[in-house]
Amino acid sequence: MKKTVSFIMAIFLVQNLFAQVQVKDLPQEGFDQRIRAYINNMHVVDTHEHLANPEGLKKSGMLDFTLLLHHYADDDIKSAGISKSDFAETLTNSMSVMEKWQAIKPYWEGSFNTGYNRAVQLTADKLFGVKNIDVNTVEDLSANIRKAYESDWFNEVLKEKCKIDYAVIDGNDRSFGDQDMLRYIKRFDYININSKHKIENIAKRAGAQMNTFDNLLTSLNNEFINALQEGIVAVKIGVAYSRILFFDEVKKEEAEEIFNKIVASKSKEALPFEEVKALQDYLTHRVVELADEAAIPVQIHTGLQAGDGNFIENSNPTHLANLFLKFRNVNFILFHGGYPFGSELASLAKNFRNVSIDLCWLYIISPSYSERYLNEWLETVPANKIMAFGGDFHNVEGVYGHLLFARQVVANVLIKKVRDGYFSEAEALKVAQMILHDNAISILKLDKRN
Task: Give the pLDDT score at 24.
Answer: 83
Tens of pLDDT, residue by residue over 42-68, are 999 999 999 999 999 999 999 999 999
Whole-Å CA distances, 177 to 51, 52, 168? 10, 10, 12
What pTM value is reported for the model? 0.94
Q: How is domain 154-444 classified at the CATH fold level?
A: TIM Barrel (3.20.20)
Tens of pLDDT, residue by residue over 12-49, are 444 444 457 999 889 899 999 999 999 999 999 999 99
The predicted model gives 243-262 an average pLDDT of 98
- The strand pair at 386-387 and 355-358 is best described as parallel
Q: Is the pLDDT of residue 296 over 90?
A: yes
Task: Give the pLDDT score at 449.
Answer: 67
The predicted model gives 225-231 an average pLDDT of 97
Torsion over CA: 395, 400, 405, 407 (sign): positive
Instruction: Determine which of 5-9, 81-85, 135-139 has the lowest per-residue pLDDT on average.
Output: 5-9
The predicted model gives 84-111 an average pLDDT of 97
For the chain, state the CA radius of gyration: 24
Confidence bin at 215 (pLDDT 50/70/90): very high
What is the chain's mean pLDDT, rounded? 95
Helix axes 396-419, 425-433, angle to 10 degrees: 150
351 CB-near residues (< 8 Å, 6+ apart): none
Tens of pLDDT, residue by residue over 150-181, are 999 999 999 999 999 999 999 999 999 999 99
Confidence bin at 308 (pLDDT 50/70/90): confident
Q: Is the pLDDT of residue 450 over 60?
A: no
Q: Is the pLDDT of residue 5 over 60?
A: no
Task: Give the pLDDT score at 379.
Answer: 98
- Alpha-carbon distance of 74 to 116, in angstroms, equals 9
- Alpha-carbon distance of 1 to 448, in angstroms, equals 67
Tens of pLDDT, residue by residue over 329-380, are 999 999 999 999 999 999 999 999 999 999 999 999 999 999 999 999 999 9
Q: Is the pLDDT of residue 410 over 80?
A: yes
Higher model confidence: residue 412 or residue 10? 412
Task: Give the pLDDT score at 417.
Answer: 98
Task: Give the pLDDT score at 55.
Answer: 95
SS3 string, the chain, reads CHHHHHHHHHHHHHHHHCCCCCCCCCCCCCHHHHHHHHHHHCCEEEEEECCCCHHHHHCCCCCCHHHHCCCCHHHHHHHCCCCHHHHHHHCCCCCCHHHHHHHHHHHHHHHCCCHHHHHHHHHHHHHHCCCCCCCCCHHHHHHHHHHHCCCCHHHHHHHHHCCEEEEEECCCCCCCCCCCCEEEEEECHHHHCCCHHHHHHHHHHHCCCCCCHHHHHHHHHHHHHHHHHCCCCEEEECHHHCCCCCCCCCCHHHHHHHHHHHHHCCCCCCCCHHHHHHHHHHHHHHHHHHHHHHCCCEEECCCCCCCCCCCHHHHCHHHHHHHHHHCCCCCEEECHHHCCCHHHHHHHHHHCCCEEEECCCHHHHCHHHHHHHHHHHHHHCCHHHEECCCCCCCCHHHHHHHHHHHHHHHHHHHHHHHHCCCCCHHHHHHHHHHHHHHHHHHHHCCCCCC
Spatial CA neighbour of 66 closest among 398, 313, 424, 355: 398
Confidence bin at 3 (pLDDT 50/70/90): low
The predicted model gives 375-401 an average pLDDT of 98
Whole-Å CA distances, 13 to 80, 92, 226, 351, 423? 41, 57, 61, 34, 22
Task: Give the pLDDT score at 25.
Answer: 86
The predicted model gives 110-115 an average pLDDT of 98
Q: How many CB atoms lie within 10 A of CB 2?
A: 6
Chain CA centroid to CA 348, Å: 19
Q: Is the pLDDT of residue 388 over 90?
A: yes
The predicted model gives 422-443 an average pLDDT of 98
